[in-house]
Amino acid sequence: MTDSDVAAESTSPLAPIRLLIAAPRGFCAGVDRAIEIVERSLTRYGSPVYVRHEIVHNRFVVDSLKEQGAIFVEELDEVPDGVPVIFSAHGVPKSVPEAATARGLEWLDATCPLVSKVHRQAERQIENGRHIVFVGHKGHPEVIGTFGQVPDGSMTLVETENDVAQLDFPTETKLAFLTQTTLSVDDTAAIIAALKLRYPDIAGPKAEDICYATSNRQAAVKAIAEECDLVLVIGAPNSSNSLRLVEVAQRSGTCAELIQRASDIDPRWLDNVNTLGLTAGASAPEKLVREVVDRIAQFRAVQEETVVTTEEYMVFKLPRQLTDPA
């Protein structure tokens, strides 16, 4: 049975669907910067340019850069001598650029400046003699990169309030907390509250570590979710900020699905859906949003509305290697 056959059975082509598109959505300043670093490096150095790990968590973006001449590898030892290498937007342990320098490799750091800020905060807290409780998701590249900024054993990971309850630091221990930049705003607030309740003297950052784009996209989903019968989130399954958007919609009592491309949409999802919400994680390009809108229009007439909750103007500088004259 074709999609058209399914659509004909499940929804009337005459029944329009109200489509609420969240704004802001999609690319953030850190992702824009990371992609531009790869593209400018290809122009400046020529192909190939190597990238350690996915530059951002989006297969469409990665494949597009591969077509331009970027080669993605998992570890630095896969990079041959004499070619430039770029570190992903999620950040890397200090040992990685140190190893690149020791090999004489030209390297460029595409780490999001907001992640780099967390790295510097971690260094300062260790210098001040504090042990860091880090709120994040085990195994995420950003967490691995942040742990790699400080000596082994000087940071402890917590993922939930229950993890906080299991901590057993002596009362005299000097503590600080930091967080991954792409977490659930609500979950993180609850975990931090639990930390402060248990350890009243724990030090924290002057401003929250969750990045502006993560917070803004979650707020935008909240603004539309309660009006929707279903919310679609465009993003990769390994994208933390995209997964959080799905959770935000679900906690509003709305069904939500994570999709990577328009082809992931099952037309049966549109059964009994009068209002559909749409957003995109911070690594998903606007091209994929339009692709999804076009796909939905194959099954239903679309009444499209953009719901704007805030405007974003953030821009990050590029590495000096790409701005200085060649």
Evaluate whether 10 touches 270 at the Cβ level (below 8 Å): yes
Q: What's the rounded Cα separation, in Å, for the pair 135 and 244? A: 15
Strand, coil or helix: what is 143?
Answer: helix
Buried b (16+ CB within 10 A) or exposed e, 62-79: bebbeeebbbbeeebeeb
Considering the candidates 54, 142, 161, 172, report the single residue annotated as catalytic.
142
Q: Max CA-CA distance within the chain? A: 68
Q: What's the rounded Cα separation, in Å, for the pair 105 and 82? A: 6
CA 190 to chain centre: 21
Pull the structure tokens for residue 74. Answer: 């998992």
> Please, which contacts does 313-320 make with residues 24 or more away whose CB atoms are closer than 8 Å?
314/28, 314/29, 314/212, 314/213, 315/29, 315/32, 316/29, 316/30, 316/32, 316/33, 316/112, 316/113, 317/33, 317/113, 318/33, 318/36, 318/37, 318/40, 319/37, 319/108, 319/109
Annotation says 142 is catalytic: yes
Report, as residue numbers or ranges, the catalytic residues.
142
